[in-house]
Amino acid sequence: MGKNKYTTRLKKFARRNDLKLEYENVLERPVIMRAVINGQRFPDGEGQNAEKAKQNAAQNALKSLNEKENLIVEVRWCMCLYMEHVSQICCSILNNDVISEKSVFLSDEEKRFKCISVNSNSQFDYVEELGKGAFGRVVKVKDKLVEKYYAIKIIRWNEKALREPMVLSDLEHPNIIRYFSCWTEYSGYQSDSTDESCSTQSFTGSPKKYLYIQMELCDTRTLLDWIEDWYTKKSNSKRREESLTIAQQMVGGIEYIHSKKLIHRDLKPANILFGQDTKVKIGDFGLVTAENDDDDKSPIKRTEEKGTPSYMAPEQKGKNYGRKVDIFALGLIYFELLWKISSCYEKSKVDIRKQELPQEFASTFISEYITIRSMLSMNPEDRPEASKVITDLEECAKQINAEEIARRGRATV
């Protein structure tokens, strides 16, 4: 290290974190100085002359920053991996160097993102947490350079985690969440017992690897919220039309996924989002698999473990299944959009997963009933392909239109 190592390091730290660094003269004899970062004073440094006093002041400031162990992360190394081109963008070895986070000066909320994001070059500002799933945490961030908002999913690293960005980077469809980039980072913060994803609860100093996936930012309300909101409303005259539009967009995305020889495997309302363009966006490709991937036909249990309602097709519990599992899930979701099983009587009488739909549903939504029933066929071969569902839903749309015209006609007589 050069003789100015402490002042240089402190200067770099301040510049990297966009902080204002100044030195104050405390005393002239003996010469005493101190570093002031964003108005915060650090311990005095004494020296034979101004230069030495400044070095000592910088050294004391770095030491003091380093001691705030809950806020400072020692980074052994940091690697950014951009999967789009599968090329390493940057790799910096920072052995035994102190990289302290700007988070020392941030609010608690910001620290939550910052403390798991130890990338000193981070171009993102934390905004808020958007959601938490079994595998990760999703945060809203602002890209400081282009001044745009994105969602970043942060997952504890494992080989299979890469599947999601690898697949997403190949997909381009208006009803599939848009992927921007991904990278890995190391953090000295270890997960706590209740959250395998990322947490600032305990500091161990041993870096853990996380995968960051940058995606388009969607509405905070998922299809699950849409359904719950609708359940609380007494009536919604537009529900039938809206449900149809949502189902049509979903199946558009599913047809595209299947055309790429992929199976989503985890379609459920919480994984269906709405984009800024108000379009339906299929998200959470954490369980996606290639249709001919013989090694990996058994589903990961994450959804079950979380206790969320199961949208798995019957055959998905075994090893032999294909893209039709997505059609089964779509059938369940479309039914849920249209109908709430409210009474205990109805609950005891029907078993949706066995194609037993309520009688009243069948008579109210005749064309939807036929389509949904076929999607819920126990035998996957009897379920329609996504392309067939698209034409079936077009028929539903015509039927709904015809019924509406007839209803208006009756109303005007």
Residues that are catalytic: 266
Residue 10 or residue 218: which is nearer to ligand ATP going by CB? 218
Please select the residue that binds ligand ATP; options are 45, 133, 188, 380, rule is CB under 6 A: 133
Q: Counting contacts by CB under 6 A, is residue 134 touching ligand ATP?
A: yes
Contact 146, 47 (CB under 8 A): no
Regarding 151 and contact with ligand ATP (CB under 6 A), the answer is yes
Task: Report the C-alpha gap between 53 and 97 in whole angstroms.
Answer: 22
Considering the complex, state which of residue 127 and residue 134 has its C-beta at the smaller distance from ligand ATP: 134
> Is-cis flag, bond preceding 30, omega within 30?
yes
| Rounded-to-integer distance, Cα 54 and Cα 52, Å | 5
Task: Give the H/E segment covering residue 91.
Answer: strand 87-93
Q: Which of 12, 279, 302, 373 binds ligand ATP (CB under 6 A)?
A: 302
Q: Is 153 annotated as a binding residue?
A: yes
Binding mask 167-206 for ligand ATP (x = CB under 6 A): ----------x-----------------------------
Exposure string for 53-75, b = 16+ CB within 10 A, e = fewer:
bbbbbbbbbbebbeeeeebbbbb
CA atoms within a 13 Å half-sphere pointing along the CA-CB vector of 138: 22
Chain residue whose CB lies nearest ligand ATP: 133
Q: Please tell me the distance from the alpha carbon of residue 389 to that of residue 196, in angstroms, as a whole number.
A: 38
**Residue 257 Cβ vs ligand ATP, minimum distance, rounded to whole Å:** 15
Neighbours of 189 (CB within 10 A): 23
Nearer to ligand ATP (CB atom), residue 72 or residue 313: 313
In the complex, minimum distance from the CB of residue 151 to Mg ion, in angstroms, rounded to a whole number:
12
Q: Which amino acid is at 317?
A: K
Site for ligand ATP in 243-282 (CB under 6 A): 270-271, 273
Q: Which residues bind ligand ATP (CB under 6 A)?
A: 130-131, 133-136, 138, 151, 153, 177, 215-218, 222, 270-271, 273, 283-284, 286, 302-303, 306
Q: Which residues are annotated as a binding site for ATP?
A: 153
